[in-house]
Amino acid sequence: MAFHIIGTGSALPSRSVTNVELSEFLDTSDEWIVTRTGIRTRRLCTVESLDDLAVEASRQALDDAGIAAADLDLIICSTTTGDHIIPAEACAIAGRLGVACPAFDVSAACAGFVYALDVADGFLERGRARNVLVVAAEKMSRALDWTDRATCVLFGDGAAACVLAAGGASPLAFELSCMPDTESLAVSGIVGTSPFDSSVRDAGDGAHALKMDGRRVFKFGVTTICNAVEALCEHAQIDIDDIDRFIFHQANERILAAATARLGLDDAKVARTLADTGNISSACIPYTLDTLARDGSLAPGDLIALVGFGAGLATGSALIRWE
C-alpha–C-alpha distance, residues 90 and 54, integer Å? 9
Contact between residue 317 and residue 308 where contact means Cβ atoms under 8 Å apart: yes
| Burial per residue of 86-122, b for 16 or more beta-carbon CB atoms within 10 angstroms, e otherwise | eebbbbbbbebbebebbbbbbbbbbbbbbbbbbbbbe
Report, as ranges of residue numbers, the positions in the chain whose pLDDT lies below 70.
Answer: 1, 199-207
Model pLDDT, residue 207: 60
4 a catalytic residue: no
Q: Which fold has domain 173-321?
A: Peroxisomal Thiolase; Chain A, domain 1 (3.40.47)
Of 243, 248, 230, 260, nearest to 321 (Cα)?
243
CA 30 to chain centre: 25
Model pLDDT, residue 223: 96
Catalytic site residue from 131, 152, 233, 249: 249
| pTM reported for the whole predicted model | 0.95
Say which residues have a Cβ less than 8 Å from residue 89's Cβ, sequence separation at least 6.
50, 51, 54, 77, 79, 82, 83, 105, 135, 137
Q: What is the CATH number of domain 3-166?
A: 3.40.47.10
Longest dimension (CA), the chain: 59
Model pLDDT, residue 2: 85
Does this chain's domain 3-166 share its CATH topology with 173-321? yes
* 151-201 pLDDT, tens digit each: 999 999 999 999 999 998 889 999 999 999 888 888 887 777 777 777 665
| Residue 128 CB coordination number (10 Å) | 13
Model pLDDT, residue 196: 75
C-alpha–C-alpha distance, residues 263 and 226, integer Å? 6
Model pLDDT, residue 209: 86
C-alpha–C-alpha distance, residues 200 and 195, integer Å? 8
CB-count burial class (<10 Å; 0-12, 13-18, 19+) for 85:
exposed
Model pLDDT, residue 197: 75
Model pLDDT, residue 1: 52
252 a catalytic residue: no
Catalytic site residue from 77, 162, 279, 284: 279
Q: Over pLDDT 70: what percentage of the chain? A: 97
Q: HEC states along the chain?
A: CCEEEEEEEEECCCCEEEHHHHCCCCCCCHHHHHHHHCCCEEECCCCCCHHHHHHHHHHHHHHHHCCCHHHCCEEEEECCCCCCCCCCHHHHHHHHHCCCCCEEEECCHHHHHHHHHHHHHHHHHCCCCCEEEEEEEEEHHHHCCCCCCCCCCCECEEEEEEEEEECCCECCEEEEEEEEECCCEECCCCCCCCCCCHHHHHCCCCCCCCEECHHHHHHHHHHHHHHHHHHHHHHHCCCHHHCCEEEECCCCHHHHHHHHHHHCCCHHHECCCHHHHCECHHHHHHHHHHHHHHCCCCCCCCEEEEEEEECEEEEEEEEEECC
C-alpha–C-alpha distance, residues 177 and 302, integer Å? 25
Domain residue ranges of the chain, discontinuous segments joined by +: 3-166, 173-321
Model pLDDT, residue 200: 63
Say which residues have a Cβ less than 8 Å from residue 142's Cβ, sequence separation at least 6.
81
Amino acid identity at 257: A
Strand partners, 318: 174, 306
Catalytic site residue from 91, 110, 162, 284: 110
Model pLDDT, residue 201: 59
110 a catalytic residue: yes
